[in-house]
Structure 1
Amino acid sequence: MEIVRSSKGIVLYQRKHVLDILSETCMVAAKPCSTSMDYNTKLHSTSRSPLPGPAPYRRLLGKLLYLTNSGPYISYVVSHLCQFNSSPTDQHQQATNRILKYLKSSPALGLFFPSQNTTILKGFSNSYWAACLGTIKSVAGWCFFLGSSLIFWKSKK
């Protein structure tokens, strides 16, 4: 975790970890994406052909899961892909590569806590009825801000 302090506030990010993941997966030269997932593609456990060796996929998801500590912008898609750890397919690998391309577009993206902030608490929530194709369960997500600082986020099936 990298912490940068200035008179404007504090920024938490994991730029070095992102760049290490990109170089480890040979995605440094990949074309960046503007979104972390393709929202038109529905992932499920039987989508396409299974990966021959799931260990590298699982290791990569673990590293991406660690990034969600300072990156709520990938939290939903990483937790969604973690549901397929038992039998990942090439479509899941493709979705994971899209996350890496998204991270390449802004490796130093993180959380900002301004020094001049209000103490107004705001909360937002959203739900997606029957979002999971395998179990027909809904997905809900919420986040809370203290002033303009994100202090809590979660998505849950």
Structure 2
Amino acid sequence: MDYSTHLQATSNTPLSDVSASSYRRLVGRLIYLTNTRPDITHVVQQLSQFMAHPMTAHSQAAFRVLRYLKSSPGSGIFLLTHGDLRLKAFSDLDWAGCRDSRCSITGFSIFLGNSLISWRSKKQTTVSRSSSKAEYCALVSTTCELQRLTYILKDTHVPFVQLAILYCDNNSAI
């Protein structure tokens, strides 16, 4: 999705009933596809917000995702068989990124060595009055996922000795 594109609930003309149901099916299939294609997670999260009342701009954005997927069929998750077994997480957010609700959008990606194993893009449930507080909430969400993955690695007897690293770009939240 183009970075400058911001979808809104009332951006264009509404789709007809037939087009709206096909939009919902398409976004549902894209949601399923995010299990193996983390590169489309954010845009699918954006498109899924408008499933109740889709507009033509939303449909055009969904078709743009399909064109992107068609042009990059070999892209997906690649798990390496060698490398260090250290968890590294990158957390970021778009403060007040949702134009309709002004909620921030959290995103993180977690690597085991050099292999991506977990990712998420989600709108926060509350409106934060400062970017530091919103970034802190994003760090909390990422830390919970890191802890869950640490427990899974311990339960499956994967040997790792070093603590997880969490990267953040907001100095006040750190």
Q: Which TM-score applies when normalising by structure 1? A: 0.75
2:107 to 124, 128, 141: 141
108-117 vs 56-65, which deviates more? 108-117
Query: What is the rounded CA distance, in whole Å, between the counterparts of 1:114 and 1:131 in structure 2?
Result: 34
Please state how far the C-alpha of 1:146 moved relative to its aligned partner. Answer: 0.6
- Note if 1:41 corresponds to 2:1: no
The offset of 1:105, in angstroms, is 1.2
CA distance in 1, matches of 2:93, 2:45: 15
Q: Residue 26 of structure 2 aligns with which residue?
A: 60
How many Å separate the matches in 1 of 2:43 and 2:120?
12
CA RMSD of aligned residues (A): 0.8
Q: Counterparts of 1:113 and 1:39 in 2: how far apart (Å)?
A: 28
Amino acid aligned to 2:87: L
- Structure 1 counterpart of 2:170: none
Q: Which has the higher contact order (CA 8 A, sep 6+)?
A: 1
Separation in 1 of the partners of 2:121 and 2:2? 18
Measure how far apart 1:118 and its partner are.
Answer: 1.2
Stretches of structure 2 that go unaligned for 5 or more consecutive residues are 124-174
Compute the displacement of 1:108 (Å): 2.4
In structure 2, the partner of 1:107 is: 73
Secondary structure of the 1:94 match is helix
Match of 1:154 in 2: 120
The alignment covers a number of residue pairs equal to 121
Higher helix share: 2
TM-score, normalised to structure 2, is 0.68
| Bigger radius of gyration | 2
Q: What runs of 5+ residues in structure 1 fail to find an aligned partner?
A: 1-36
Bigger strand fraction = 1
**Residue 92 of structure 1 aligns with which residue?**
58
